[in-house]
Structure 1
Amino acid sequence: MTFTMRSLGGGGPDVSAIGLGCMAMSEFYGTPDRGAALATIAAALDAGITLFDTGDFYGMGDNEMLLAEGLIGKRDQAFIQVKTGAQRSPDGAFIGMDARPAALKTALAYSLKRLKTDHVDLYMTSLDPAVPIEETIGALGDLVRQGFVRYVGITNVDAGTIRRAHETHKLTALQAEYSLMSRDIEQDILPLCRELGIGVTAYGVLSRGLLTGSTGSGAGDLRSAFYPRFQGENLSHNERLANALAKAAHSEGITAAQAAIGWVASQGQDIVPLVGARTPGRLDEALKSPLHLSADALTAIRDAVPQDAVRGGRDMAAHG
């Protein structure tokens, strides 16, 4: 089956208009269910999804091995994007970034083994304050020339860093959080990406489930512990916004999840929403999202969740 496709960046590869984000299949959002995860990957392939998003630090490599298992015999059907650079301690805590050239090349060597592949389609990293971005992106360019990476991307950086990186080696995509509740990139980052012909793979399109009624609590779920939007009065307030979205979505004959995904997808052909479905049922709901909402529908959905009404930061709260 062929899913609707979009070009990732100017002159970039064609990928499915919606991608599957695999992070939550390994950790963070509750107890993982490996069987359901593998069934979801299989369902995505059957539906014509080609873009699969993972990171070498998701489950400390577990997520890459899970994806590899799900792609056995079907690697050629998948466009795999891998994020790297984040460092974690044995207890799972995030302890910084390492984007030195040697570290990135070593990390890729391990990723290729875990993914059981000879190349990564899109390799992405972020800014390491101790390393000039030119050195970091230059190393990724080396990996492209060696054939181990097809395209280079960058994640969660400011506009100035994007421009400097792109001048070092052509960036195919930026990965950034983008949703009704998180529109920061609209100010200067998205316009710059369009100026330079850089595509966007958008994560957090459901605001980590907040827009669809998740409270971020339960065994193995870290959202209520770490994300301010899921805490105390912030959560109560944001739940009212989610209820307003559900009403607006119902008037359009779609679910809240479909409205949130459709809103992001409708912001431009250069944006590919990543959905973090962990079961075939959730994936099926996501893939039925409209990719082009009407102007009236977009207005109603946006008005249900005004950006300035959202309470709490989108990033992890500091924990000493």
Structure 2
Amino acid sequence: MAKVGRMKLGSQGLEVSQQGLGCMGMSAYYGPPKPEPDMVALIHHAVQSGVTFLDTSDVYGPHTNEILIGKALSGGVREKVELATKFGIRISDDGKYENRGDPSYVRAACEGSLKRLDIDCIDLYYQHRIDTRVPIEITTGELKKLVEEGKIKYIGLSEASASTIRRAHAVHPISAVQLEWSLWSRDVEEEVIPTCRELGIGIVAYSPLGCGFFSSGSKLLDNLSQDDFRKGILLYYVFQMFINDTYIKKKKKEMAAKKGCTPSQLALAWLHHQGNDVCPIPGTTKLENLNNNIGALSVKLAPQEMAELESFAAADVVKGGRYAGDLITWRNSDTPPLSSWKVV
């Protein structure tokens, strides 16, 4: 198995494994929750293999994924991992989603996560989605207080625009920005990623395998349960699977065969080659897939191979938004000016 090295994430001292583990699918959104003992064993295997950067959120379940992670961290495991969780998406009693970034909610959410995870301090605490009603300076200001109180170590943002990132970073250094980045989701390369690099902010890439497409192709939909959210919301991927699957699958398989790796390893290797400030966090619930993902670290790509990979998913091949109406993405994450904020 490939060796998982270490990398600096951001400029404030956070160090994580070169590849992380997205834990969402263990508890939510990708079908029914998976057996707890199996998932704890998977997390332990990941940590023993060097994948120590674990990613969760209070909305996964909701809450059940954090509880699972908390159980997995018992018995001395906590000291071996870098733990990231998120706040900012609240599910109302009627099942509707709401983004929250007001100070009282930030604090209450943090306290709730600490309790469920059964820890004293969160290593990296992200705002999961931006509350467009609250100036980002106000949200970041409360996060800064949590850092000063020792409840969180580092601050992150998820799906934030370049302007939102700049404004937040001016209040307190942002260590990492989590965003969707893969061969098929490259809109962040225009403004968001250059802004992160200018400010010395680490980049955490979620859905680096296109929500499973790069490993399963169009057959992915056939194997999804009825309550898997990918059936309904990821219209972008659904469109691409049926229109371009034959072409892309053929090209990926040809290149993977030449490299002696799998197509999903190719997709991950492409991200690993984007720079030493990029950490992909592929999620899985299977030991075999975890080991396969780690294997991507040993795949070396020359510049011409990078260009060839990118040509498979060029702009004239990949079309459409990531979600229906670009729902909850960085494109609609700008907040009101600080001068508009009135303390109630």
Q: TM-score category by the smaller chain?
A: over 0.9
- Correspondence 1:1-80 to 2 at 5 A: 3-34=4-35, 35-73=37-75, 74-80=77-83
8 Å CA contact 2:273, 2:301 repeated in 1: yes
- Correspondence 1:142-221 to 2 at 5 A: 142-214=145-217, 215-216=220-221, 217-221=224-228
Match of 1:274 in 2: 281
What is the deviation of 1:48?
1.4
8 Å CA contact 2:7, 2:277 repeated in 1: yes
How has the CA–CA distance of structure 1 residues 64 and 165 changed in structure 2, closer, same or farther, with 3 Å as cutoff? same
Match of 1:251 in 2: 258
| 2:135 equivalent to 1:129 | no
How has the CA–CA distance of structure 1 residues 302 and 246 changed in structure 2, closer, same or farther, with 3 Å as cutoff? same
Deviates more, 1:305-314 or 1:260-269: 305-314
| Unmatched tracts of structure 1, length 5 or more | none
What is the deviation of 1:228?
0.6
Letter in 2 for 1:116: D
Q: Could you tell me the percent identity over the aligned residues?
A: 34
Letter in 2 for 1:164: R
Distance in 2 of aligned mates of 1:308 and 1:210: 19
Distance in 2 of aligned mates of 1:271 and 1:66: 26
Letter in 1 for 2:286: T
Deviations 1:221-262 (A, max 9, x none): 22121111343x543114232443233222211101100111
| 2:242 equivalent to 1:239 | no
Q: Give the one of 271, 277, 285 matched to 2:292.
A: 285
* SS, match of residue 208 in structure 1: helix
8 Å CA contact 1:213, 1:239 repeated in 2: no
TM, length-normalised to structure 1: 0.93
Following superposition, which runs of at least 4 residues in structure 1 exceed 4 angstroms of deviation? 316-319
Letter in 2 for 1:200: I
TM, length-normalised to structure 2: 0.87
| 2:302 equivalent to 1:302 | no
What is the deviation of 1:303?
1.9
Letter in 2 for 1:57: V
8 Å CA contact 2:237, 2:322 repeated in 1: no
Letter in 2 for 1:109: E
What is the deviation of 1:99?
0.6
Match of 1:81 in 2: 84
Distance in 2 of aligned mates of 1:207 and 1:108: 30
Distance in 1 of aligned mates of 2:292 and 2:160: 31
* SS, match of residue 128 in structure 1: coil
Distance in 2 of aligned mates of 1:251 and 1:177: 28
How has the CA–CA distance of structure 1 residues 294 and 119 changed in structure 2, closer, same or farther, with 3 Å as cutoff? same
Match of 1:260 in 2: 267
Distance in 2 of aligned mates of 1:59 and 1:155: 18
How has the CA–CA distance of structure 1 residues 308 and 203 changed in structure 2, closer, same or farther, with 3 Å as cutoff? farther
8 Å CA contact 2:3, 2:297 repeated in 1: no
8 Å CA contact 2:21, 2:51 repeated in 1: yes
Higher relative contact order (CA closer than 8 Å, sequence separation 6+):
2
Q: What count of residue pairs does the alignment treat as equivalent? A: 317
What is the deviation of 1:307?
3.8
Distance in 2 of aligned mates of 1:307 and 1:30: 31
What is the deviation of 1:318?
8.4
Distance in 1 of aligned mates of 2:3 and 2:14: 15
8 Å CA contact 1:252, 1:297 repeated in 2: no
What is the deviation of 1:2?
7.1
Distance in 1 of aligned mates of 2:315 and 2:110: 38
Distance in 2 of aligned mates of 1:89 and 1:242: 40
What is the deviation of 1:11?
4.1
Deviations 1:35-75 (A, max 9, x none): 33222101101101111000000011000011111111210
How has the CA–CA distance of structure 1 residues 169 and 33 changed in structure 2, closer, same or farther, with 3 Å as cutoff? same
How has the CA–CA distance of structure 1 residues 115 and 316 changed in structure 2, closer, same or farther, with 3 Å as cutoff? farther
* SS, match of residue 147 in structure 2: helix
Distance in 1 of aligned mates of 2:297 and 2:11: 23
